[in-house]
A = this chain, B = another copy of it.
Amino acid sequence: MTDAEKVFRDITAIREKAPVILSITNYVVTNTTANALLAIGASPIMSHAVEEMAEIVAISGAVVINLGTIATEYVAAMDPAWAAADEHGVPVVLDPVGAGASRLRTNTPLALLAAHKPFIIRGNASEIMTIAGESGVAARGVDSSAGSDAAGGAAMALAEKHGGAVAVSGETDLVVDAAGSRARVLGGSALMPRVTGLGCTATAICAAFATVNKDPFEAALHACVTMKTAGEIAAAKSAGPGILQLHFYDALYNMNAKDVAEHLKVER
Contacts and interface: CB of A to CB of B under 8 A. Distances in A.
A249 interface: yes
Contacts of A197: 31, 34
Given A44-B142, A52-B102, A241-B249, 20 more contacts: A22-B141, A26-B46, A28-B30, A28-B34, A29-B31, A35-B195, A35-B196, A38-B193, A39-B194, A44-B141, A46-B68, A49-B102, A55-B102, A55-B104, A56-B102, A56-B141, A59-B140, A72-B73, A242-B247, A243-B250
A12 interface: no
A242 B195 contact: no
Interface residues of A, number: 64
A248 interface: yes
Contact of A59 (B49, B139, B193): B139
A22 B142 CA distance: 10
A35 B241 contact: yes
Given A27-B27, A27-B30, A45 B142 contact: yes
Interface in A12-54: 18, 20, 22, 26-32, 34-35, 38-39, 43-49, 51-52
